[in-house]
Amino acid sequence: MDLFEYQGKQFFARFGIPVSPGDTADAVDDAVAVADRIGYPVVVKAQVQVGGRGKAGGIQLADTSDEVRAHAESILGMDIKGHVVRRLWIERASDIEAEYYASFTLDRSAKRHLGMLSAKGGVDIEQVAEEDPAAIARIHIDPVAGLSEEQTRAWVAEAGLDERATDGAVDILQKLYRAYTEGDADLVEINPLILTPEGKLHALDAKVTLDGNASFRHPEWDELEGLESIDERERLAHEKGLQYVGLDGTVGVIANGAGLAMSTCDVVNQVGGQPANFLDIGGGASAEVMANALEVINTDDKVKAIFINIFGGITKGEDVANGIVTALGRVELRSPIVIRLDGTNAEEGRAILAAHESDTLISKPTMLEAARAAVELAKGA
């Protein structure tokens, strides 16, 4: 679960990480009122879950109410890489002497947490990693032993920050590590972490991904989830307990198992099509689950054909086929369906589907043939 910057900053603040005072605004007048309250100069910041807002014009400094008004007008409704801005975060502007980068995430292959710290912050960290990898100081942390102050100090020294930043950085990194572990996050990133002319450090941006598997012990997260989901399809899918990720193509994809769902998207691409989504319905393929999946895909206007790719394991082919047929009776679909059914009792399943075949319900024996048929249908529509 990704947080917006302002939510990330609220999360950081709970762990004692310094952030600028500010508030959200969903309308121009509110933005001016917030700015008047916190005092000038302020920064008007687009709240979208995508990086590079600064470059896109979604972050503007303002010295007066009129400037806030003008910036709020231009940023609200702005499209930043496909994300429409519906909310602003207004905060007291900071003076910047240096911009650093700091993050914690999990390094699965090392079976350790990974901390990254760089004196080259403010810019895209992927770019730094590519052009000047030595500028990023890395530390692997044993999750049981944790991160000691001593280790943190050595790590900060390696990163080559300004001397005045040392103590502040050690303090913030220890708090950030606590936020990451105790706060049940998969990623915490501060870019930029700034040094002010007064020699103080604080978080000017916040990127936080919470670990959804830990939501059961965080009742306070319900509030975050309810706030805003940009993609209506994803909201509906989430409500129905489906693993769904919205994409931009025209071929709706339903598969059982995350690996198969990914392969299905790949095959659709391979034969010249574009998946409209990733949707994993999990192990079983009951009529209930199938109907839910079809309903979600049906809300997507861009979908011109649906590709159902099921490999029966424990669930038998005939049960899958019956599930699909029942689901089709429940949902009035706008697009034709191509089904590839394989695995346990595939023959029996295909026989059931054969009895229902039509122009809008096509069964193909292999994944590749099914993908071709679905892509052709999507293009022809």
DSSP 170-233: HHHHHHHHHHHHHTTEEEEEEEEEEE-TTS-EEES--EEEE-GGGGGG-TTHHHHHHH--S-HH
Known catalytic residues? 101, 189
Of 168, 171, 205, 169, the closest CA to residue 188 belongs to: 205
Q: Which of 88, 204, 237, 261 binds ligand GDP (CB under 6 A)?
A: 204
- The entry of ligand GDP, Mn ion, none near residue 16 (CB within 5 to 8 angstroms by kind) is none
> Quick check: helix, strand or coil at residue 237?
helix
CB of 230 to ligand GDP, least distance (A): 16
Q: What backbone phi and psi angles, to 5 degrees, belong to 2?
A: -85, 140
CB of 191 to Mn ion, least distance (A): 4
- The entry of ligand GDP, Mn ion, none near residue 43 (CB within 5 to 8 angstroms by kind) is ligand GDP
Interface map 11-50 toward ligand GDP (x if CB under 6 A): --------------------------------x-------
DSSP 104-138: EEEETTTTEEEEEEESS-SS-HHHHHHH-GGGEEE
Of 147, 183, 181, 168, the closest CA to residue 7 belongs to: 183
Return the residues of window 158-197 that contact ligand GDP according to CB under 6 A: 191-192
Of 17, 21, 44, 20, the closest CA to residue 32 belongs to: 44
Q: Candidates 53-61, 162-170, 234-242, 259-267 — which segment interacts with ligand GDP by CB under 6 A?
A: 53-61
CB of 205 to Mn ion, least distance (A): 4
Which residue in the block uniquely carries the two structure tokens 């012990």?
A: 217
52 binds ligand GDP (CB under 6 A): yes
63 binds ligand GDP (CB under 6 A): no
Binding site for Mn ion (CB under 5 A): 191, 205
241 binds ligand GDP (CB under 6 A): no
Distance of CA 361 to the CA centre of its chain: 34
CB neighbourhood size of 363 (10 A): 23
Q: Contact 15/190 with Cβ under 8 angstroms? A: no
CB of 45 to ligand GDP, least distance (A): 6
Return the residues of window 108-167 that contact ligand GDP according to CB under 6 A: 122
Q: Candidates 88-96, 268-276, 285-293, 321-329 — which segment interacts with ligand GDP by CB under 6 A?
A: 88-96
Dmax over Cα atoms in the chain, in whole Å?
77
- The entry of Mn ion, ligand GDP, none near residue 122 (CB within 5 to 8 angstroms by kind) is ligand GDP
CB of 3 to Mn ion, least distance (A): 14
CB of 220 to ligand GDP, least distance (A): 24
Q: Which of 51, 160, 282, 343 binds ligand GDP (CB under 6 A)?
A: 51
Of 227, 236, 185, 231, the closest CA to residue 207 belongs to: 185
Q: Contact 192/101 with Cβ under 8 angstroms? A: yes
Which C-beta is closer to ligand GDP: that of 205 or that of 318? 205
Residues that bind ligand GDP (CB under 6 A): 43, 51-54, 59, 93-94, 96, 99, 122, 191-192, 204-205
